[in-house]
């Protein structure tokens, strides 16, 4: 038995499927609440899988349920259901708002239709959190949690917070658009980070995976290995994979063999369209292409019909109602223009059909016209092929559907090009049986082999077996990132101290510079084209003493005091004033019992750090809240740091401004023409510098990827910093001062 087959509800490890919609939708009727199968490709693909393997499905039943309403049970369902109740407000903003009005059009590269609304996003985030809570409640540590689709892109990171070792996988059923489109979203980085907390992220086709990797690299600064499709996300490595979805081929084929013909398809040659009623499916464009066929090739009049089936979808969204009206009118116009006493060119059914009926209609259709403007995959094309058990028909398929990547034997068209589609129709109508059979047999063989079971197997095997690893950070990475940037005669290298040059220690006094790190920093400082500055929240004298190299520039207290070669000693004018007030703050914190159980205060002149690393974590929130209140009441700003709160004077001075001061003092007002700047730091106070230096420097954020960063790139840990500094020290063939090399370029 393969490992993937081991995923079952009854075994030791199971699968928890999570999607916005449950496989059934609840309707209110005179008889009370009733279940009906949900529409859409995701459900059609996954339901048979869970039915066969068992497990749990977490999702929303499709309506707002009253408090006392229970979901009707279905005795035959061989898997567990964890139903999430959504409120009216959540349905409005999370489902109809952010999912359907923002993400759906944007991900389908139709940005003009997308609406960006902060409130929608906030509720989306909250509902994703609710899904994460439900997942935590119903899954066991050994389960694979498989989250589906664009409704739940933030849920993985929220699950990861409560279940750090959970096995999380994500599959996106719709396209992932190019960087230029995705970055239009004001919360693009939040969604990317949400997905990256998975172990495995799957897409239908390679192009979507590459777009995702592009966005991750360019928007989050994460290191990406395209060859092995892995992403370094802080201290974790995430596998990205391509898994083109299939259908329950055998089921469709059997239904097509067993079901009698439907009246809809009995006389003329039938061109079939089957879709959820959605603007991405290109239904109006298809009707126009069919009209064009009748214009260009009048011989087909009275001999061919377009049978368009549309399953109602998202009818709460105004745009979908408008689309329905547009289609109704278009059908009326074309029929009005060409109909005769005995023939109407378009037959249009707006309703859901049973799978049996659908299979028979597919089987009897001469041509399937599947022309979405953009589609993640498109199951209709595959269902049509599986149902061709009699005289083989012809599949006309949009090049812009994911399915076109593999279904090469179809006649491929651009759905926006009515003439091209009309000519493809003309060719399909006239196509001889041998050509139809050759094309259809090739299509059928592939879909039979790559059916939905094979898809699930491939995905779960990868999720089970993948031990994603990324090549260690190497000189090639640094060359690629910095080679094109280092084009000025000088380099100014700014380095934070704690967490950047040394590991974070329980007590600041223990954070000593390693010999290897000292060596590479000295190597940089020894170059006549490189100036090194160390910029820290520590007191100036203290950081200078910890580094112990007289030739460097030092900035202490987040840049309030600066000393270094070729610049005048600097102390911010408010320093003395706040020095006195810090003493009062220390006293206030002392009184307030925020020092219990190992928390302590480090007074640093005009600033102060409240350290709570030694306190049991369950007490942190209360202590932080109390300390924040006292710090703010004393007229300081409270800023989070690593297991600490920084109290800083509210004087509009931070590490970013300090860097600019050093650059101006040392190299003059036109410094940017003489010098390139690199800044490396690991915490929130360094974010000030990253933001301030955006566009003016290459910036690196060190450490886990648990927060957003304004830095250009991320480095996973202190040894990666060492590797970077070593590369800088040795660039263009310079030697390190003397002695053996440090453990540089080993990466993680
Ligand atoms: P959808 O956008 O829902 O799926 P699609 O793949 O075409 O699109 O699936 C539609 C499903 O609805 C098919 O299974 C079809 O049989 C069914 N259907 C359509 N009209 C019907 C009708 N009148 N009566 C009954 N059933 C009907 C999303 C992505 C796709 C991706 C799938 C799966 O948008 O690109 O292929 O998920 O990953």
Q: Is residue 467's pLDDT more than 90?
A: no
The listed range with the strongest mean pLDDT (37-41, 473-477, 555-559) is: 555-559
pTM for this one? 0.86
Residue 219 is given by DSSP the state I
Percent of the chain with pLDDT over 70: 95
Alpha-carbon distances of 231 from 196, 243, 483, rounded to whole Å: 8, 18, 22
Alpha-carbon distances of 229 from 180, 204, 318, 376, 531, rounded to whole Å: 21, 14, 40, 20, 37
**Least confident interval from 57-71, 179-193, 343-357, 733-747:** 733-747
What is the C-alpha separation between 521 and 727, in angstroms, rounded?
A: 11
Pocket test for ligand 1, best of 20, 149, 262, 276 (most atoms within 8 A of CB): 276
Joined together, the tokens standing for residue 482 give 């910095």
pLDDT in tens, 26-72: 988 888 888 888 866 678 778 877 888 889 999 999 888 887 788 88
Q: Quick one: 15-84+127-242 is in which CATH superfamily?
A: Glycogen Phosphorylase B; (3.40.50.2000)
Q: How high is the mean pLDDT of the chain?
A: 91
Residue of 278, 451, 496, 683 marked catalytic: 496
pLDDT in tens, 600-618: 888 888 888 999 888 888 8
What stretch of H or E contains 463?
helix 452-465
What 3-state class would DSSP assign to 251?
A: helix
Pick the closest to residue 265 from 349, 327, 339, 333 (CA basis): 349
Q: Is residue 9's pLDDT more than 70?
A: no
Pocket test for ligand 1, best of 380, 395, 452 (most atoms within 8 A of CB): 380
Pocket test for ligand 1, best of 40, 110, 244 (most atoms within 8 A of CB): 40
pLDDT in tens, 688-730: 999 999 999 999 999 988 788 999 999 999 999 999 999 999 9
> 313 phi and psi, to 5 degrees?
-150, 140
Query: Given CA atoms 386, 387, 390, 393 in this order, what sign does their dihedral have?
Result: negative
Cα of 95 vs centre of ligand 1, distance in Å, is 18
Mean pLDDT score, 516-536: 96
Ligand 1 atom nearest the C-alpha of 39 is: 12
Q: Is residue 547 within 8 Å of residue 521, measured between CB atoms?
A: yes
What is the C-alpha separation between 548 and 553, in angstroms, rounded?
A: 11
Cα of 40 vs centre of ligand 1, distance in Å, is 4
Ligand 1 contacts CB of residue 379 (under 6 A): yes
Cα of 43 vs centre of ligand 1, distance in Å, is 9
Joined together, the tokens standing for residue 495 give 């380095």
Q: Is residue 310 within 8 Å of residue 266, measured between CB atoms?
A: no
Ligand 1 contacts CB of residue 627 (under 6 A): no
pLDDT of residue 73: 78
Judge if 475-572+653-733 and 575-648 fold alike in CATH terms: no
Ligand 1 contacts CB of residue 317 (under 6 A): no
Q: Is residue 688 within 8 Å of residue 648, measured between CB atoms?
A: no
Q: Which residue is closest in CA terms to ligand 1's atom 21?
A: 311
Q: CB within 8 A of 264, min separation 6: which ones?
A: 270, 307, 347, 349, 361
pLDDT of residue 3: 31
Mean pLDDT score, 287-292: 98
Number of H helices, E strands in the chain: 24, 29
Ligand 1 contacts CB of residue 45 (under 6 A): yes
Which fold, 475-572+653-733? Answer: Rossmann fold (3.40.50)
pLDDT of residue 4: 34
Joined together, the tokens standing for residue 718 give 């202190």
Cα of 352 vs centre of ligand 1, distance in Å, is 11
Q: Which residue is closest in CA terms to ligand 1's atom 28?
A: 41
pLDDT grade, residue 738 (50/70/90)?
low
The listed range with the strongest mean pLDDT (100-109, 458-467, 639-648) is: 100-109
What is the C-alpha separation between 727 and 194, in angstroms, rounded?
A: 32
Ligand 1 contacts CB of residue 264 (under 6 A): no
pLDDT of residue 747: 32
Q: Which residue is closest in CA terms to ligand 1's atom 3?
A: 40
pLDDT of residue 266: 57
pLDDT grade, residue 334 (50/70/90)?
very high
Q: Quick one: 249-449 is in which CATH superfamily?
A: Glycogen Phosphorylase B; (3.40.50.2000)
Q: CB within 8 A of 648, min separation 6: which ones?
A: 558, 607, 636, 637, 639, 654
List the chain domain ranges: 15-84+127-242, 249-449, 475-572+653-733, 575-648
pLDDT in tens, 79-98: 999 999 999 999 999 999 99
Q: Is residue 569's pLDDT more than 70?
A: yes
> Rounded to the nearest 5 degrees, what angle is found at the Cα of 110, between the Cα atoms of 108 and 114?
105
In order, the DSSP letters of 309-347 are: EEE---TTSHHHHHHHHHHHHHHHHHHHHH--SS--SEE
Ligand 1 contacts CB of residue 376 (under 6 A): yes
pLDDT in tens, 636-679: 989 888 888 989 888 888 999 999 999 999 999 999 999 999 99
Ligand 1 contacts CB of residue 353 (under 6 A): yes
Q: Which residue is closest in CA terms to ligand 1's atom 37?
A: 41
Ligand 1 contacts CB of residue 500 (under 6 A): no
pLDDT grade, residue 264 (50/70/90)?
low
pLDDT of residue 263: 67
pLDDT grade, residue 8 (50/70/90)?
very low
The CATH class that applies to domain 575-648 reads alpha beta
Pocket test for ligand 1, best of 205, 378, 447 (most atoms within 8 A of CB): 378
Q: Tell me whether residue 618 is one of the annotated catalytic residues.
A: no
Ligand 1 contacts CB of residue 349 (under 6 A): no
């Amino acid at each position: 038995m393969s490992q993937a087959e081991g995923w079952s509800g009854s075994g030791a490890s199971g699968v928890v499927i999570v999607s916005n919609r449950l496989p059934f939708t609840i309707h209110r009727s005179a008889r009370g609440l009733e279940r009906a199968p949900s529409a859409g490709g995701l459900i059609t693909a996954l339901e048979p899988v869970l039915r066969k393997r068992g497990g749990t499905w977490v999702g929303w039943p499709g309506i707002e349920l009253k408090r006392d309403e229970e979901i009707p049970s279905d005795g035959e369902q061989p898997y567990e259901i964890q139903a999430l109740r959504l409120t009216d407000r959540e349905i409005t903003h999370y489902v109809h708002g952010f999912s359907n009005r923002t993400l759906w059009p944007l991900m389908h590269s139709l940005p003009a239709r997308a609406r960006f609304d902060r409130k929608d996003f906030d509720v989306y985030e909250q509902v994703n959190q609710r899904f994460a809570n439900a997942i935590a409640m119903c899954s066991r540590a050994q389960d694979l949690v498989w989250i589906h689709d664009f409704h739940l892109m933030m849920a993985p990171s929220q699950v990861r917070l409560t279940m750090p070792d959970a096995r999380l996988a994500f599959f996106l059923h719709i396209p992932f658009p190019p960087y230029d489109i995705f970055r239009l979203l004001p919360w693009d980085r939040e969604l990317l980070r949400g997905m990256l907390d998975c172990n495995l992220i799957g897409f239908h086709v390679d192009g979507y995976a590459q777009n995702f990797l592009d966005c991750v690299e360019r928007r989050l600064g994460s290191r990406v290995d395209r060859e092995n499709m892995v992403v370094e996300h802080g201290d974790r490595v995430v596998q990205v994979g391509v898994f083109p979805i299939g259908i329950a081929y055998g089921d469709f084929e059997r239904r097509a063999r067993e079901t009698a013909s439907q009246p809809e398809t009995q006389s003329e040659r039938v061109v079939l369209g089957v879709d959820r009623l959605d603007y991405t499916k290109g239904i109006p464009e298809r009707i126009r292409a069919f009209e064009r066929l009748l214009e260009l090739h009048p011989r087909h009049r009275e001999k061919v019909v377009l049978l368009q089936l549309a399953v109602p979808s998202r009818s709460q969204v105004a745009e979908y109602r408008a689309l329905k009206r547009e289609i109704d009118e278009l059908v009326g116009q074309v029929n009005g223009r060409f109909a005769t006493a005995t023939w109407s060119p378009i037959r249009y059914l707006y309703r859901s059909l049973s799978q049996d009926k659908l299979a028979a209609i597919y089987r009897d259709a001469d041509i399937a016209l599947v022309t979405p403007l953009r589609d993640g995959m498109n199951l209709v094309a595959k269902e049509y092929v599986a149902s061709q058990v009699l005289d083989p028909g012809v599949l006309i398929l949009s090049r812009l559907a994911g399915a076109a990547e593999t279904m090469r034997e179809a006649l491929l068209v651009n759905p926006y090009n009515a003439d091209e589609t009309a000519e493809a129709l003309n060719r399909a109508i006239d196509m001889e049986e041998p050509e139809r059979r050759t094309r259809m047999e090739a299509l059928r063989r592939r879909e039979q082999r790559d059916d939905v079971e094979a898809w699930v197997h491939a995905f779960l095997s990868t999720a089970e077996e993948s031990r994603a690893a990324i090549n260690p950070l190497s000189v090639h990475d640094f060359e690629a990132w910095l080679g094109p940037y280092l084009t000025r005669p000088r380099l100014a290298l700014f380095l934070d101290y704690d967490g950047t040059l040394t590991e974070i220690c329980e007590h600041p006094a223990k954070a000593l510079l390693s010999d290897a790190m000292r060596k590479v920093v000295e190597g940089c400082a020894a170059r006549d084209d490189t100036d090194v500055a160390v910029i820290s929240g520590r007191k100036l004298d203290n950081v200078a003493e910890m580094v112990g190299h007289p030739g460097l520039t030092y900035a202490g207290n987040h840049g309030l005091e600066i000393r270094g070669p070729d610049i005048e000693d600097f102390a911010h004018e408010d320093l003395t004033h706040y020095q006195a007030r810090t003493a009062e703050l220390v006293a206030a914190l002392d009184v307030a019992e925020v020092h219990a159980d190992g928390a302590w205060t480090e007074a640093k002149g005009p600033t102060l750090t409240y350290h709570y690393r030694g306190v049991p974590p369950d007490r942190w929130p209360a202590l932080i809240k109390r300390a924040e209140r006292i710090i703010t009441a004393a007229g300081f700003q409270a800023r989070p740091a690593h297991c600490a709160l920084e109290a800083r004077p509210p004087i509009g001075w931070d590490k970013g401004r300090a860097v600019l001061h050093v650059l101006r003092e040392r190299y003059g007002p036109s410094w940017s023409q003489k010098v390139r700047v690199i800044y490396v730091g690991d915490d929130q106070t360094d974010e000030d510098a990253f933001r301030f230096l955006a566009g003016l420097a290459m910036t690196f954020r060190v450490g886990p990827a648990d927060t957003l960063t304004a830095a250009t790139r991320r480095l996973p840990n202190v040894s990666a910093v060492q590797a970077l500094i070593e590369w800088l020290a040795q660039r263009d063939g310079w030697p390190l001062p003397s002695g053996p090399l440090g453990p540089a370029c080993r990466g993680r």
